[in-house]
Amino acid sequence: MSKIAAIQMASGPNVTANLESAKRLIDQAAENGAELVVLPENFAIMGLTESDKVALCEEDGLGPIQDFLARQSQRHGIWLVGGTIPIKSPDPKKAYAASLLYNDQGERVARYDKIHLFDVHLMDSDESYNESETTYNGKDIVVVETPFGKLGMAVCYDLRFPELFRSMLDQGVEIISLPSAFTALTGHAHWESLIRARAIENLTYVVAAGQGGYHVNGRETHGHSMIVDPWGHILNQLKSGTGVVIAEIDRDRLNSIRRSFPAIEHRRLSCQSNAG
């Protein structure tokens, strides 16, 4: 078995302060034996405006936020999912929302760019979000081999698109990392249900690391970071405030569930259309 951790933050516009908070929480996770740690979406910056992240975006493979992630993973000897950070895109007015995976040597081994962008108007709270105005969407599904199992990488709004996770399943996914910043409204309505559904239908572990609290820009995020097992059980969660959620994952248990309840093998519908 292996210990994994989801970190919950309430990030603001000051990158230095956010990195200090992330460092403290990574230290806490590592001290408690976590071998894989997942940071939340936008852990390094939640700006006063969405364009703030574009102004601070880094070149791929070069920049202080990426250096921070490499140092933390190497220093603690952990695998680290760097939530999301802004990486330069072909459009100077937009940045990729990149989730970066570092191994225990401090080497970057994978990058996932958020595919589904949050462009919605929430009538109940009169909130509007237009993520595509400042974020360049990714296209590639990422599943990578780790010592803990095959890790599929997703981000926040991706959670609502089950076909993404079915595509991961076709690549053998066993654990899903989900850095997020769900709104308080949508989180209360759907967060837990969607996470447990993705775990149950794909018989995978889900490590959901969220922003949780009130932010300087006036936004409120849902929190409730959690780790869910392949049977849909919540192994541990943090409802509010900053902190660390730790749980043990058991690859043998995952394989046992998949053998005794072979729903994956019973799939009959293809994701591809046969229309000519």
Active-site annotation holds for 41 = yes
Active-site residue (options: 35, 53, 156, 174): 156
Instruction: Choose the catalytic residue: 58, 114, 131, 174.
Output: 114
Contact 102, 79 (CB under 8 A): yes
For tokens 């970190």, the residue is: 7
Residue that the structure tokens 């902190």 belong to: 243
Question: What is the number of residues in the chain?
Answer: 276
Cβ distance 230 to 257 under 8 Å?
A: yes
Which residues have CB under 8 Å from 20's CB, separation 6+? Answer: none
The one catalytic residue among 35, 41, 131, 174 = 41
Cα–Cα distance for residue pair 181/186, rounded to 1 Å: 10
* Distance between CA atoms of residues 137 and 119, nearest Å: 12
- 156 assigned to active site: yes
Q: Within a 10 A sphere around the Cβ of 108, how many other Cβ atoms?
A: 17
Least Cα distance to 235 among 224, 227, 223 occurs for 227
Alpha helices in 59-209 (DSSP H): 64-76, 162-170, 184-186, 192-202
Clarify whether 163 is annotated catalytic: no
**Catalytic residue positions, numbered:** 41, 114, 156
